[in-house]
């Protein structure tokens, strides 16, 4: 099957089962794709083609024996280097290998292993996942493949995850989302991303940034692929095909709240027009639009802008577990971690209380709507060389995570799907936000929206650096 990696995962999984496609052939195509353009894009911190071949051969051997270990058997997956993977060191974007305790697999990766997925390697990330631009002073940043002339941000902190999908070396990418880190790189690279409700998936085996907000998540080339991966890995589901059969064929009757000006003001390069056009298409297809203010988002972002809780929780983790790593911390993050030293317990607890109160009120906003729609990111991926110091870096960071942070801080869940290109020819995402705990309904609605709007390949084409 030529260009197998362009097919939906659900189709590939069936072909692997019936023997018309082998996992080894799929892996070899992924390896060839990476070798063709991967050196320039730098998606992986640990590229492991030999390991991938061994995984694929094990999947094929199981198929040949009539054994199906799970829906992801033989499917190519990349894993963010925040996750422990047996046989791989864990660096978490730092210049040194973390102690062995951080190489013990947690439930999410163990599930991939049980299903005999093909693990392609570990993807680059922002150091300790603390930042959204993709910047990493130790290794550099992966390149956003949508601009062949300039090194633009791929989004972070799961910076290599979306790039691995674009280059065709993975069908699914495992990432984490503490304030944006799945949805942001997904949107900036023209992919789909899912941020689940906190504690829906276990964070065991994942190097922590913020124990209050860390959440494993999925990036994929399409929402349908992301949904397949979600159902295959989710401990409450497991039957990916049964889940996809429950996805509505369209959006008729789905109640979509249109977010207030907080999420729209400041959009650049026509991003707002692209997202508005997508929402209008959903309305013409039968979705019911309802103006739905979410003022609690402003309070959540205010707490984030004041310093949030991630910096103090990361600093506490480093002081306790990895004190020697403080001396090599990326200079752009030093001021934030230094300020965390003087944050009082009273102020830390006050921030948590403010967020809890806002989250309680925000949950009630979903009484009359199924999801709330916003632009995923208000700003186009920027040229990384434009960041010259901590102050400029963090100003940019606040701008790109503006629409994403409230989801985490208000204990909600969200999906992003590509809906077009901005005036610079860079991807634009539509974010759909749902009440915490409504993950399954959210993913189904996002899939239904994609069926109306079109797949990323239909809407965006192929990134310039991945053509030919």
Q: Does residue 398 have a cis bond before it (omega within 30 degrees)?
A: no
Cβ neighbours around 96 below 10 Å, total: 13
Instruction: Assess contact for 240 and 125: CB atoms under 8 A.
Output: no
CA distance linking residue 460 with residue 447, whole number of Å: 17
CA distance linking residue 150 with residue 144, whole number of Å: 9
Catalytic residue among 181, 222, 310, 380: 181
The per-type count for the chain, helices as H runs and strands as E runs, is: 17, 11
> Is 80 annotated as catalytic?
yes
> Is 157 annotated as catalytic?
yes
Burial of residue 323, with CB atoms counted within 10 A of its CB: 0-12 exposed, 13-18 middle, 19 or more buried:
exposed
CA distance linking residue 180 with residue 100, whole number of Å: 28
By C-alpha distance, which of 97, 187, 199 is closest to 428? 187
CA distance linking residue 242 with residue 113, whole number of Å: 22
Catalytic residue among 80, 122, 195, 435: 80
Q: How far are the Cα atoms of 151, 258, 286, 373 from residue 291, in angstroms, in the given order?
A: 38, 5, 16, 10
Catalytic residue among 45, 76, 78, 157: 157
3-state secondary structure 50-92: HHHHHHHHHHHHHHHCCCCCCCCCCCEEEEECCECCCCCCCCC
> Is 153 annotated as catalytic?
no
Residue 373, φ and ψ in degrees, nearest 5: -100, 135
CA distance linking residue 383 with residue 260, whole number of Å: 29
Residues catalogued as catalytic? 80, 157, 181
């Amino acid at each position: 099957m030529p260009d197998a990696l362009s097919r939906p995962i659900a189709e590939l999984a069936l072909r692997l089962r019936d023997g018309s496609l082998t996992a080894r052939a799929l892996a070899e195509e992924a390896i060839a794709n990476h070798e063709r353009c991967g050196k320039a894009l730098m998606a992986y911190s640990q590229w492991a083609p030999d390991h991938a071949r061994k995984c694929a051969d094990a999947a094929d051997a199981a198929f040949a024996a009539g054994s199906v270990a799970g829906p992801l058997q033989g499917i190519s997956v990349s894993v963010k280097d925040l996750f422990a993977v047996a046989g791989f060191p864990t660096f978490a974007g730092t210049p040194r290998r973390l102690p062995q305790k951080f190489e013990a697999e947690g439930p999410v990766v163990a599930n991939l292993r049980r299903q005999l997925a093909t693990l392609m390697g570990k993807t680059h990330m922002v150091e300790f996942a603390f930042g959204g631009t993709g910047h990493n002073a130790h290794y550099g940043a992966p390149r956003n493949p949508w601009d062949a002339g300039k090194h633009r941000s791929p989004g972070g902190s799961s910076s290599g995850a979306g790039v691995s999908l674009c280059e065709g070396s993975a069908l699914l990418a495992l990432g984490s989302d503490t304030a944006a880190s799945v949805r942001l790189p997904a949107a900036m690279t023209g992919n789909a991303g899912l941020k689940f409700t906190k504690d829906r998936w276990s964070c065991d085996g994942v190097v922590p940034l913020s124990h209050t907000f860390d959440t494993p998540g999925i990036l994929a080339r399409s929402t349908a692929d992301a949904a397949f991966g979600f159902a295959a890995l989710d401990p409450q589901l497991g039957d990916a095909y049964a889940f996809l059969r429950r996805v509505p064929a369209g959006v008729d009757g789905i109640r979509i709240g249109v977010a207030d000006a907080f999420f729209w003001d400041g959009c650049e390069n026509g991003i707002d027009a692209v997202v508005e056009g997508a929402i209008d298409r959903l309305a013409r297809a039968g979705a019911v639009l309802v103006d739905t203010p979410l003022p609690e988002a402003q309070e959540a972002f205010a707490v984030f802008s004041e310093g949030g809780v991630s910096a103090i929780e990361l600093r506490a983790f480093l002081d306790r577990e990895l004190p020697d790593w403080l001396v090599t911390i990326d200079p752009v993050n030093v001021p934030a971690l230094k300020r965390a030293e003087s944050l009082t317990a009273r102020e830390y607890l006050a921030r948590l209380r403010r967020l809890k109160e806002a989250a309680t009120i925000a949950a009630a906003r979903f009484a009359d709507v199924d999801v709330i729609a916003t632009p995923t990111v208000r700003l186009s991926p920027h040229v990384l060389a434009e960041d010259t110091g901590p102050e400029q870096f963090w100003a940019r960071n606040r701008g790109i995570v503006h629409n994403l942070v409230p989801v985490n801080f208000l204990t909600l869940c969200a999906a992003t799907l590509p809906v077009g290109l901005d005036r610079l020819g860079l991807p634009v995402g539509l974010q759909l936000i749902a009440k915490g705990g409504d993950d399954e309904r959210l993913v189904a609605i996002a899939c239904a929206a994609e069926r109306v709007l079109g797949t990323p390949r239909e809407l965006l084409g192929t990134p310039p650096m991945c053509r030919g």
